[in-house]
Structure 1
Amino acid sequence: MSIRIVPVARGCALLAIALTLAACATSEPAPPQPASLTAATPQQQVAAIRATAGDGEGELAIQPLRDPKVEDLREQASRLESQQHYADAAKALDQALEIVPDDPALLQERAEAALLLGDHGQAETLARHAFETGSKVGPLCRRHWATVEQARLIEGDAAGAATAKAQVDQCTVAGVNRF
């Protein structure tokens, strides 16, 4: 008398596979992502952010002294960006941020690099961090909020984009009158 286990084991394995597939088929579909509220390319978005800063003529803007190595990395990132080597530009900025992790200008430049790479979530996070660590007025402040606005537009968040846009106006403060 011989016992045949193989067909039973095979049948159990097939049943387990069938039940697994059935469970996958009945799972809820992922909720649809909100549609982007902008048709701008990442390059156009970054250009708009930088244009929002304006020339800063006649207003208060704080410019810290820079470490020469950090300046070299920033210039390298700028060159790489102009050559459309966005990932390499981001790496150069990451190296600079290792030296001065809370530099608002560097954080902003890295946020813009994140937008160019299509990572709007990181762009918004970096821009908000830059705002928190930096001056609450001036051209850089406007760039922070313009970046948040662009990220919210990509996310399909009209209310968040409008709130960020309103913050841009709060960043303008006239310079000191010198008689």
Structure 2
Amino acid sequence: MKKMLVMACVLGLVACSSGSPPPERGRPVAKVDPAALVAQVRAAGQQGNELEVQPLRDPQVEDLRASAEALEAAGKIKPAIAALDRALLISVGDPDLLQWKAELALLQRAWLPAEQLANESFTQGPKLGGLCRRNWTTIALARSSRGDDAGAEVARRQVDGCTVAPPVRM
């Protein structure tokens, strides 16, 4: 019995000195209102005072966007995501559609997919303006909701870099 106790202590010490830290665990996550998070993300997209250039959209994509908007307003999030998925088959990599899908992921409390979609939108997008602010705000809120406060703070600092003043016109 004493040998087993000594072995357990030795194994414990070896495990502690293995050099790899224990897996990080975030803080316990407080209850989150996903609708409030999405409202915060969308408000971030409206705060700027810059020129925004919107590409021409395929009429079929516009129909799917209108459908997704109506479905989201009716609280039918899964069908709204399905409409956005169909739109993304037509307009592959559309950063606005990807960001919208990230916001719907927030509504479903799917924090990691929300962050991944917002990151993909940022990569595909203009990296400035309202869409950029929505991307980084989504990433920050998703990280915070998962308990990753340090990662959320890094994302929050990126939001300010998205605003670029419009050119002075004389």
Asked whether the two chains share a fold, i.e. TM above 0.5, the reply is yes
Work out whether residues 38 and 153 of structure 1, in 8 Å CA contact, stay in contact via their aligned partners in 2: no
Cα distance in 2 between the residues matched to 1:75 and 1:36: 38
Cα distance in 2 between the residues matched to 1:98 and 1:63: 19
Number of corresponding residues: 148
Match of 1:156 among 144, 147, 151: 147
The runs of at least 4 aligned residues of structure 1 exceeding 6 Å deviation read: none
Cα distance in 2 between the residues matched to 1:169 and 1:75: 30
TM-score by length of structure 2 reads 0.81
Closer, same or farther: CA 137–99 of 1 in aligned 2, 3 Å: same
> Amino acid of the residue matched to residue 47 of structure 1?
A
- Structure 1 match to 2:46: 54
Q: Which runs of 5+ in 1 are unaligned?
A: 1-30
Q: List aligned pairs for 1:101-140, cutoff 5 A.
A: 101-140=92-131
CA RMSD of superposed structures (Å): 1.7
Work out whether residues 32 and 145 of structure 2, in 8 Å CA contact, stay in contact via their aligned partners in 1: no
Q: Are 1:173 and 2:164 matched, yes or no?
A: yes
Q: List aligned pairs for 1:135-146, cutoff 5 A.
A: 135-146=126-137
Work out whether residues 96 and 121 of structure 2, in 8 Å CA contact, stay in contact via their aligned partners in 1: yes
Q: Which runs of 5+ in 2 are unaligned?
A: 1-22
Instruction: State percent identity of aligned pairs.
Output: 47
Give the greater-gyration-radius structure (CA): 1
TM-score by length of structure 1 reads 0.78
Cα distance in 2 between the residues matched to 1:32 and 1:150: 19
- Structure 2 match to 1:42: 34
